[in-house]
């Protein structure tokens, strides 16, 4: 078992001040694969001080210098794609092919996209005699989750570097191994000492210390809504900027024109697979399928067929579609939500409580579809974060829009239709940060973030870069007097 007792601080690996540690568990075997140190307030202080000391010089780097740095990072990242995929697969149970193509691939796409954004981004503009300047916000804390670790690390670290910020990263202590490799990548690419720092630890200890630290100018947090509220409260006393990407309960509206002959089966099937992807552990997963009442029973039949074709199994098996949940705690949470749905009177069309047959070891769950669900049920309102889909019947388009918006969350929503103009009209009425029409390809240039309890601010491309910049107005800059 590998032991990681050091943190990357000020350009080198320094042994943790804290004596606390935790095991990293392979969710497919329930066995430990590594042990990492858990940082404390002293470790945070060392990392923040290193970032603060590095900020004056790094914030003055030219666009060309930062571009060259990001390009070197991309080269190093690509050279270690297979290693990153293996680490992600081991620590969170993602099928190996999925980990390489999506978990690692999305991180690579964010790096490449930020390079293109930085080439053309306008950091200065003139308004009469006033010069408007966008400058780095300062020292930033980046707190990232376990479910899409490299996606969230790269879509925070890359714009922070592009902006000229210095930073401290706290990855999830449940899935930290890919972040350790990422730190090595940045070191090999020549990121100056103190610009990037990494401290492992819990949210209660390290996350709290970063959020309330007086020398942190901004916190960019991705995680649960509950934890996001705690981060905001901890940062309030120092009036720092808090950027949050939180939970979701995304609606997937199948519009009435999707008849059996013209796309209902395809729309249902893709919706099921999208919901179950990454073992349902995605904050923007389409977990509420809204179906016209006249097509409801047909849709249920297609959904059950699609779910039956999902192969749950070991991450390294070639035919595995989805792997285990991340942890024993997450397994118990998902089981409790399935039990809740049964108690509320919803019908289990497929799946249900317990583990799939033959998978007694590992945090595996049965892909589950609930039918006869009403909007007021807790399984229709709360984020489950597992492969659990609820199917809700609606009467007309007005009812569908109302159901979609009847949620405390607003991260994403999905619209399926044979008529693009109709889909566009519905998309404009949905209160969510990202709307996907007819299952488009993932787009690294689209803004990502939510309304309501799904957070604030946006990530990806120039929208992500905006978040790490302050705006300064210099009046009289062009005046002759």
Give the start-to-end residue ranges of the domains of the chain. Answer: 2-246+454-474, 251-447
DSSP state of 176: -
Output the DSSP codes for 208-245. HHHHH-TT--EEEEES-HHHHHHHHHHHHTTT-EEEEE
Q: Which value, to the nearest 10 degrees, does the dihedral of the CA atoms of residues 250, 256, 257, 263 take?
A: 60
Percent of the chain with pLDDT over 70: 99
**Chain center to CA of 182:** 17
Q: What is the pLDDT of residue 314?
A: 97
39-89: per-residue pLDDT in tens? 999 999 999 999 999 999 999 999 999 999 999 999 999 999 999 999 999
Assess contact for 477 and 130: CB atoms under 8 A: yes
Model confidence at 171: pLDDT above 90: yes
Assess contact for 227 and 203: CB atoms under 8 A: yes
CA distance 92 to 255: 35
Least confident of 370-379, 433-442, 472-481: 472-481
DSSP state of 27: T
226-277: per-residue pLDDT in tens? 999 999 999 999 999 999 999 999 999 999 999 777 799 999 999 999 999 9
Local structure of 166: helix, strand or coil: strand
Q: Which two tokens stand for residue 15?
A: 């042994």
Mean pLDDT (whole number) for 436-448: 98
Q: What is the pLDDT of residue 262?
A: 72
Mean pLDDT (whole number) for 139-150: 98
Contacts (Cβ under 8 Å, ≥6 apart) of 362: 27, 28, 29, 30, 93, 314, 324, 355
Q: Which two tokens stand for residue 468?
A: 């790490």
Instruction: Label residue 168 by pLDDT band (50, 70, 90).
Output: very high
Residue bearing tokens 């790094």? 58
Q: What is the pLDDT of residue 259?
A: 78
Mean pLDDT (whole number) for 430-447: 98
The model carries a pTM of 0.97
Return the closest-CA partner of residue 371 out of 344, 348, 343.
348
Q: What is the pLDDT of residue 439?
A: 98
Assess contact for 465 and 121: CB atoms under 8 A: yes
Buried b (16+ CB within 10 A) or exposed e, 10-39: bbeebebbbeeebebbbbbbeeeebebbbb
Q: Which value, to the nearest 10 degrees, does the dihedral of the CA atoms of residues 123, 126, 129, 131 take?
A: -10
Instruction: Label residue 480 by pLDDT band (50, 70, 90).
Output: low
Angle at 439 between CA 438 and CA 440, to 5 degrees: 100
Local structure of 349: helix, strand or coil: strand
Q: Which two tokens stand for residue 204?
A: 């209660």
Local structure of 329: helix, strand or coil: helix
**Domain 2-246+454-474 - what CATH class?**
alpha beta
- Phi, psi (rounded to 5 degrees) for 349: -80, -30
- Mean of per-residue pLDDT scores for the chain: 97
317-343: per-residue pLDDT in tens? 999 999 999 999 999 999 999 999 999
Contacts (Cβ under 8 Å, ≥6 apart) of 427: 413, 415, 435, 437
- DSSP bridge partners of 391: 289
Q: Which two tokens stand for residue 96?
A: 């190996």
Structural element, H or E, at residue 132: strand 130-136
Angle between helices 149-163 and 63-79 (to 10 degrees): 160
Assess contact for 282 and 322: CB atoms under 8 A: no
CA–CA distance from 221 to each of 53, 276, 358 (Å)? 23, 24, 38
Return the closest-CA partner of residue 414 out of 385, 393, 437, 394.
437
Q: Catalytic positions, please? A: 245, 283
Assess contact for 271 and 287: CB atoms under 8 A: no
CA–CA distance from 411 to each of 274, 277, 279 (Å)? 15, 17, 19
CA distance 33 to 41: 26
Q: Which two tokens stand for residue 46?
A: 């060392």
Model confidence at 481: pLDDT above 90: no
Mean pLDDT (whole number) for 395-422: 98
Q: Which two tokens stand for residue 357?
A: 């047959």
Check for a shared fold between 2-246+454-474 and 251-447: no
DSSP state of 411: S
**What is the architecture, at CATH level 2, of domain 251-447?**
3-Layer(aba) Sandwich (3.40)
């Amino acid at each position: 078992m590998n032991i990681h007792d050091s943190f990357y601080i000020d350009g080198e690996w320094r042994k943790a001040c804290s004596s606390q540690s935790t095991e990293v568990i392979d969710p497919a075997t329930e066995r430990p694969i590594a042990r990492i140190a858990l940082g404390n307030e002293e470790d945070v202080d060392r990392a923040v001080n290193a970032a603060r000391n590095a900020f004056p010089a790094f914030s003055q780097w030219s666009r060309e210098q930062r571009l060259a740095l990001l390009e070197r990072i991309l080269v190093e990242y690509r050279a270690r794609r297979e290693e990153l995929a293996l680490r992600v697969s081991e620590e969170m149970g993602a099928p190996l092919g999925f980990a390489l193509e999506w978990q690692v691939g999305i991180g690579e796409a964010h790096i490449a996209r930020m390079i293109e954004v930085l080439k053309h981004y306008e950091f200065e503009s003139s308004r009469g005699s006033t010069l408007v300047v966008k400058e780095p916000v300062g020292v930033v804390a980046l707190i990232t989750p376990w479910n899409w670790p490299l996606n969230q690390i790269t879509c925070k670290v890359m714009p922070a570097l592009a902006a000229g910020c210095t930073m401290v990263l706290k990855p999830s202590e449940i899935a930290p191994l890919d972040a350790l490799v990422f730190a090595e990548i940045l070191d090999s690419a020549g990121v100056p000492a103190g610009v990037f720092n990494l401290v492992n630890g819990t949210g209660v200890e390290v996350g709290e210390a970063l959020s309330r630290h007086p020398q942190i100018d901004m916190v960019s947090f991705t995680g649960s809504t509950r934890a996001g509220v705690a981060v905001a409260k901890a940062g309030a006393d120092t009036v720092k900027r808090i950027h949050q990407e939180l939970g979701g309960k995304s609606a997937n509206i199948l519009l009435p024109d999707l008849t059996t002959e013209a796309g209902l089966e395809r729309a249902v099937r893709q919706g099921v697979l999208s919901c179950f992807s990454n073992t349902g552990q995605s904050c923007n997963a389409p977990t509420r399928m809204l179906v016209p009442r006249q097509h409801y029973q047909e849709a249920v039949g297609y959904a059950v067929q699609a779910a039956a074709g999902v192969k749950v199994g070991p991450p390294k098996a070639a035919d595995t579609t989805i792997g285990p949940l991340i942890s024993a705690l997450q397994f118990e949470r998902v089981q409790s939500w399935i039990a809740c749905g049964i108690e509320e009177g919803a019908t289990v069309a497929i799946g249900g409580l317990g583990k799939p047959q033959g998978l007694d070891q590992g945090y595996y769950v049965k892909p589950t579809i609930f039918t006869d669900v009403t909007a007021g049920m807790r399984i229709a309102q709360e984020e489950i974060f597992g492969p659990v889909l609820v199917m809700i019947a609606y009467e007309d388009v007005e009812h569908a829009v109302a159901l979609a918006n009847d949620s405390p969350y607003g991260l994403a929503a999905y619209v399926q239709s044979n008529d693009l103009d109709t889909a566009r009209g519905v998309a404009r009425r949905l209160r969510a940060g990202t709307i996907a029409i007819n299952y488009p390809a993932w787009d690294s240039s689209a803004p990502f973030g939510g309304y309501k309890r799904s957070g604030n601010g946006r990530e990806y491309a120039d929208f992500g870069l905006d978040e790490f910049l302050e705006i300064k107005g210099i009046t009289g800059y062009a005046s002759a007097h």
